[in-house]
Structure 1
Amino acid sequence: MACAESMQAIVAEPLDYLHSQRLFVPAQFRGPEARQVLNRIVLDGLQLQSTWPPVALSAVARQWVLHWRQLPRIAGLMGAWRLMPELTRGGALLRFPLSMRRFASCSLSVRSALPIDCPVISMQVVEAAGLNALCSWHEQVPALLIERLFLQFSPTVVRLYEQWPLAKPDPALFHMAVQHARLYPNPD
């Protein structure tokens, strides 16, 4: 699917990527006609734009579009990498999938610290740290993608993300996480 077609699908069909804690869709509403109506209801209810004004996308925005459904996994990888020092305490890292542990131990650049106020680092905290890293690209990604990105995460993850200052974009971390998610699509 071309980037423009993928972008239009992201904009017009939020049910395709809406986090399961945000909306449960019964089986009888999973047909194409029902999905079209439900997509419209979601867009109207969240006051989201339903069409994409064709604009040139930055290289980062194109990566977001091309790997849209993998962004929660990419965020998890980025979050684990950012929180590696905290995750090493008490063996917390061992609770996470092997591919995430391997990525977290990569030596990329200086890790920017987050003001973590949790005695136990959960997967939700890791995802929130990664969401923070993804949102650091807000100047290079259209606002309508940022608003929809939040829909891919649980409300708890978004609330955790909101308590921290935005990180600075880390190109190496983002590109390595994209490549890792692409090469190892199924976490263990």
Structure 2
Amino acid sequence: MNTKKNILKVLFFPLLILYYETILKVFIYDTVFNIGYVYMCLFSLPLGLLFYLLTTGFNEKTNKILFYSIISFLTLYYGAQIIYYRIFYTFTSFYSILVGTAKALGFIDVLINTLLDNIAELIAVFLPIGLLVYFHRKIQFNKIPKNYIIKVAVSAVIMQSAIVLTVLSSDIGILSPSYLYSETFLVVESVDKFGLLTTGR
């Protein structure tokens, strides 16, 4: 039972990131399950493991604060990006979201209409944090052993390196994965190919 719980804890953030990326693709792009979705799955693993380490490497109180801080950030980030895209037809940095939102407040009717037109998307984005708040008493924030932290960290680094090498070796086509990842910054195409968090790296 403990093994199952540990596996669920390790996979929680990778699966959460993949959930958000899937929601983004479902509502923004015409095709969800393409080669880009495979890359999203792969990139979600090491990044999710990083979040896992950040929320299990300290005392219980600190782990809890970091856990909900990361969840809140991801929720707001993906939600804001969807609204930003609906208004400006592109994605952007977190700083630019704040600036863009400030500009959007200049025509508040457009912002309100966009929010109302994307209620389904926002409900889907806020669903995980709502469930976590509801079941918060069942969540444990114990510190994991140092040797386990090292194993997970090394695994994440190896996975990230292997994924990046795989992407960089895929250079077939005009907008190849290698080109989008390293040579240019076509935001919408890059998000479709690698996901929002990887594009915003």
TM-score with structure 2 length normalisation? 0.28
Mark the structure with the bigger radius of gyration: 2
Give 1 or 2: higher helix fraction: 2
TM-score with structure 1 length normalisation? 0.29
